[in-house]
Homo-oligomer: A and B are copies of this chain.
């Protein structure tokens, strides 16, 4: 049905990893994308250019991702990167490579979950209109950190929005607290971390003001939940020359 000449030609680096496998499946299933190269350790990067890849998705590891990026940019191939470990120094290096290749785009995102990104955007927007806000995040009991990185980041984003709107401290008359009951404080925002078997990854941001509450909740069940975000980036990266950090910028 789709004219394959119009489809975006996509290569995947780290194609046999957990995320890479999902990316291959998702690209393959998308009508407007064509999976032209699946590359993993031991394969040649040239396979991507030989196959005419216009966009490469990289879910490899911090040791090889910089070499991959350098090569792709040189070849004029745009890249979507889900590999972690990008310091400001590394980002600067990528920017300098891109400066010499004005048509090429790179999107680097620590989190491709569109739902999580929207949750944070909405939380930032709602923050100024409510007296109170608290975060309840719920995860499986194998998680090592509490609160989760996403919850801490959400708290910071909310704290900034409250400060910008000149909101003061939230009302809280608690006098008699059993230690920990009121949660952890991140930039003045209370965060509660629930851990229970059966849970996967969930977060609720609860805003309240006189007579009403507004709740934004994100439930993530599966690493497949990152695929819509990856595909969104694949479709957008060719029209965004230069470096884009975070999915945020792609979700206007």
Contact = CB atoms under 8 A, between A and B. Distances in A.
B134 A129 contact: no
A77 to B, nearest CB: 26
Contacts of A219: 198, 212-215
A107 to B, nearest CB: 16
Contacts of A217: 214-217
A195 B132 contact: yes
A227 to B, nearest CB: 6
B214 A118 contact: yes
B215 A134 contact: no
For the residues of A in contact with B, the DSSP-based class is mixed
A193 interface: yes
Number of identical protomers: 4
A214 B220 CA distance: 9
A179 to B, nearest CB: 6
Nearest to A198: B208
Interface stretch (A91-99, A144-152, A237-245): A144-152
A16 interface: no
Interface in A144-163: 144-147, 152
B212 A222 contact: yes
Contact of A115 (B180, B213, B226): B213
A200 interface: yes
A66 interface: no
Given A197-B209, A198-B210, A217-B217, 19 more contacts: A122-B125, A129-B228, A129-B232, A130-B198, A132-B196, A141-B173, A144-B173, A144-B174, A145-B176, A170-B196, A177-B193, A180-B180, A210-B224, A210-B227, A211-B223, A213-B218, A215-B216, A215-B219, A216-B217
